[in-house]
Structure 1
Amino acid sequence: MRLKAIGVLAGLLLGLVAAVAYLNVRGEDPIRDADTHAAVPRPTPMSTEQVARGRYLTQVGNCAGCHTRQGGAPLAGGRGLATPFGTVYTSNLTPDPSTGLGRWSEAEFWRAMHHGRSKDGRLLTPAFPYASYTHVTREDANAIYAYLQSLPPVEQAPQAHALRFPYNTQAALAVWRALYFRAADPAATLDNTRSPEWNRGAYLARGLGHCVECHSPRNALGATSTSLELTGGGLSGQGWYAPSLASAQEAGVSYWRTEDVVQLLKTGRTALASVQGPMAEVVYGSTQHWTESDLFALSTYLQAIPQVQTKPSAKLEPLPGKVQVQGAAVYDKHCAQCHGPQGQGATGAYPALAGNRAVTLARSDNLIAIVRAGGFAPVTPGNPQPYGMPPFSHVLTNADIAAVVSYIRTAWGNQAAPVSELEVLRLETAH
């Protein structure tokens, strides 16, 4: 009886392994021997137009933002990306034959983008957002490949990921892919009932723009939920929250003028809002370089996102008197000179805090991060000398930060929950 049970369990296990194996290769075309040539020299010449197109597309995808370490050569990799499972180090995208993409073929690069598989067939960690890049067309992937192959080669060996067991195993990646990944058909995502601008914007947002990677919540295994797409997500290891693009109370822009959305993406600021933190990096490294037509297309798509109706919050309790006094004192000493005694800000320089939805988000991560580490808008042609906010972590205690953030979130008609010193400490240790 026991042997029979063991046999049944073994059969189930083998069936599960077979299912995982099948789900990991479905839709993949095998790479032929002719496709695995050393890419230097390339057998077919790459046109100037294709290389230029690839350069633009790498900016659309902000590839340098992750694949360039501080002080390092552009796109030579080595930047550490914090995840809940450990640190992932980015790869060298230059055409160095020993440490970069120099011996990768066009077909192998496409497989990495579309299927998340390396040159040697190993599965890539989804910190490389192939779950988004699978929406990129083969033509665009080939152009990116052409541009990367045109770069000066940089010899920089990739650093091994520092992931905890079992997340550092191919088996774990295979199970994750079986559960959460399926290669997309870019053409199948087109919606004939929508305008060409909306379809282009959807392609950019879902593919190279990979907006879902930050602006969506993740489950315990790090996968985003399609049912909660673009409804906001915490940025692991950064201490920031990417607000919901599907809520007018957070970062939804359905009621904005399209030209204001374009301006925010192009310059990093408008009369309505400005970008800070990780989004400032996106504007600096990516969206300020987009064509006007692509910015208009993305704005059209963002404005069409169905908006989630946020339930009115329960009546907030008054701020405790001691916290009120402490927060007001900190604000008067460190904040009022720029943001005004009534939180009114200064037009064109310092944002108003009264009625600012970035201040009253349900999550206080961003406000705490700005008080602690400072806030800096990106330098762009449309905003060449942005005003910045200095960090205050060296002069304020966690209790001071909690008090002033709570004060700002409840003063001048703002209605948001106060934050505790424990919450400030939690975000500090999570950073």
Structure 2
Amino acid sequence: MMNQHMSRARKPGERTGNLDATVFSGSRRAALKCRRRIWKMAALAAAFSLFALYLAWLEAYDAAPRHNDDAPLAEAAAQGAALSAGTGAAPAGDATGTGPDLVKRGEYLARVGDCIACHTSDKGRPFAGGLAIHTPFGTIYTPNITPDPDTGIGHWTDADFMRAMHEGIGKEGERLYPAFPYVEYTKVTERDVQAIRAYLNTVVPVHYTPPANNLSFPFNLRWLMFFWNLLNFDEGRFVPDPKQSAEWNRGAYLVQGLAHCEECHTPRNFTQGLKTSERFSGAIQAGWHAYNITPHKMSGIGGWTDQDVTSYLSTGVAPGRANAAGPMADVVADSTQYLDSEDLRSIATYLRTVKPIDKGESRARAGWGAPASDVVALRGTKINGANGAQLFLANCATCHNWTGEGVGASAPGAYPSLIHNTVSGASDANNLAMVILHGVSRTTKVADVLMPAFDRDLSNEQIAAITNYVTKRFGNPQSTVSVEQIGNLRATPQ
């Protein structure tokens, strides 16, 4: 029903009360909206100013001690020894002198931390950096950590080095990116950090400037790491658990600190920080699956013995279970094979006590498989397209046997069985496909292991066919890959 104001014709120049009210109301709303916008801008400016003042204060507060620690390594090492004496947490080779013993200890600790792996892009210039680390935010190039004074860390003081390891802050106060695992290195004792620095002072200085990082905006702004650290970083040294044995504490110190096992074996949150609720439950790294290493019987390594763990870390082989490939082969070759038996046992002891995490597997990764006899059925058969059995016999059977049982049993350098093998029995076929694509190169004190890469010889369709044949015949039949997935894995930077 029309209201009164609409029921009669309006006289020229006449304005209704409702229209006046509407105009007034609209003007008032516009004014209020404008005032709110001004207040918001003022609040934002105030917040930004306060934050800038805080950063300035933080910089001034931290700047004083940054370059004033030129005390000899002897004093620093002695202080570190006093702080950590009696904890049973430090690795073996416990020297606290300033001469050859300290350097030897630092070399061992640098091996534990696998420093050479990330800080070497050219084996002819170790520790000179330049290795490209691909992240979801762009590419980071590792720095030169040789004692070269211009391009390396030759002008760093002991305090500079300590601050980088413990706080993730560089010589000039810049915040380091967590591709450098200071999240774990913060747990390392001062004594051990000083020993590593003493060793690095003895390596050959290399005059080389690595490429600049290539990170997209805003991730190229280092000051944003302040907020990342708030969410993902707890600064502080390892504290031994008095309720646990010295061996357990030693293992915890190594795994949580220098060895930084979580960096690969723990999934990440949306900020690329570690999901601490799922520690050691497995993650994908550059296309490779760093498996679940919790003590869960099916999803993890709960069925492994301590000897299996120590053998795997020292040789790259857990007989009848696993053979290291990809990034883990590099870890074994560059780092864990050099650990002494006491530290290896300590790592196994600690890993057995972490929270077991169930990923839903119905059978352990090494629990699958039986010998095949497809070679008989293929005789005289016409093959069309990419046939997995035929491709396996043509490319793989020479080393792994046409039955899949391998050659050489558990002898050093043996060609591994694909039966009861964690790669073929995994719930995803990533690592199997990556091994076929990129091969295996693993050099240890017991053997030189080499498997050729087939990325140049076989198409995506052929590699998918071999992968699916191997998982079906010798491993987990539910684990399959598509041609498209192979293409994606092939394109993943290594």
Q: Distance in 2 between matches of 1:9 and 1:327?
A: 62
Q: What letter corresponds to residue 329 of structure 1 in structure 2?
A: Q
Determine the structure 2 residue equivalent to 1:286: 335
| Residue number among 311, 317, 334 corresponding to 2:360 in the alignment | 311
Contact 1:214 1:242 in 2 (8 A): yes
| CA apart distance, 1:19 | 7.7
Matches within 5 A, 1:262-341: 262-272=310-320, 273-312=322-361, 326-341=387-402
Match status 1:83 vs 2:118: no
Q: What letter corresponds to residue 244 of structure 1 in structure 2?
A: N
| CA apart distance, 1:371 | 0.8
What CA deviation, in whole Å up to 9, does each residue of 1:225-267 have, x standing for no partner?
Answer: 11111111111xx3312111124445x3333221221121111
Matches within 5 A, 1:7-406: 7-13=42-48, 31=65, 34-35=68-69, 46-187=98-239, 190-235=240-285, 238-246=286-294, 247-249=296-298, 252-272=300-320, 273-312=322-361, 326-346=387-407, 347-348=409-410, 349-376=414-441, 378-381=442-445, 383-386=446-449, 388-406=450-468
| Residue number among 478, 491, 494 corresponding to 1:416 in the alignment | 478
Determine the structure 2 residue equivalent to 1:4: 39
Cα separation, partners in 2 of 1:72 and 1:37, compared to 1, 3 Å? farther
| Structure 2: unaligned runs, 5 residues or longer | 1-34, 79-96, 364-382
Q: Distance in 1 between matches of 2:146 and 2:281?
A: 35
What CA deviation, in whole Å up to 9, does each residue of 1:139-162 have, x standing for no partner?
Answer: 111111111122332222232112
Q: Distance in 2 between matches of 1:323 and 1:137?
A: 62
Q: Distance in 1 between matches of 2:338 and 2:289?
A: 24
| CA apart distance, 1:113 | 0.1
Cα separation, partners in 2 of 1:389 and 1:413, compared to 1, 3 Å? closer
Task: Give the match's secondary structure for 2:134.
Answer: strand
Q: Distance in 1 between matches of 2:454 and 2:307?
A: 35
User: What do you get for the CA RMSD once the two structures are aligned?
Assistant: 2.9
Q: Distance in 2 between matches of 1:48 and 1:416?
A: 55
Q: Distance in 2 between matches of 1:323 and 1:128?
A: 50
What CA deviation, in whole Å up to 9, does each residue of 1:67-125 have, x standing for no partner?
Answer: 11224312122222222222211111111111111111111100000000001101111
What CA deviation, in whole Å up to 9, does each residue of 1:13-67 have, x standing for no partner?
Answer: 5566678889x88x9795165326999xx9x993222111111111111111111
Q: What letter corresponds to residue 331 of structure 1 in structure 2?
A: F
Task: Give the match's secondary structure for 2:281.
Answer: coil
What CA deviation, in whole Å up to 9, does each residue of 1:122-146 have, x standing for no partner?
Answer: 1111111111111111111111111
Q: Is 114-123 or 87-96 further displaced after alignment? A: 87-96
Q: What letter corresponds to residue 297 of structure 1 in structure 2?
A: S
Q: Is 88-97 or 350-359 further displaced after alignment? A: 350-359
Contact 1:31 1:108 in 2 (8 A): no
| Structure 1: unaligned runs, 5 residues or longer | 315-321
Identity of aligned pairs, percent?
37
Q: Distance in 2 between matches of 1:281 and 1:225?
A: 24
Q: Distance in 1 between matches of 2:480 and 2:292?
A: 20
Q: What letter corresponds to residue 65 of structure 2 in structure 1?
A: I
Contact 1:323 1:403 in 2 (8 A): no
Contact 2:140 2:214 in 1 (8 A): yes
Greater relative CO, 1 or 2 (CA 8 Å, sep 6+)? 1
Task: Give the match's secondary structure for 1:35.
Answer: coil
Cα separation, partners in 2 of 1:412 and 1:243, compared to 1, 3 Å? closer
| CA apart distance, 1:330 | 1.3
Cα separation, partners in 2 of 1:180 and 1:57, compared to 1, 3 Å? same
Cα separation, partners in 2 of 1:105 and 1:325, compared to 1, 3 Å? closer
Cα separation, partners in 2 of 1:312 and 1:113, compared to 1, 3 Å? closer
What CA deviation, in whole Å up to 9, does each residue of 1:296-337 have, x standing for no partner?
Answer: 1112112223322343569xxxxxxx9997212211222223
TM-score (norm 2): 0.76
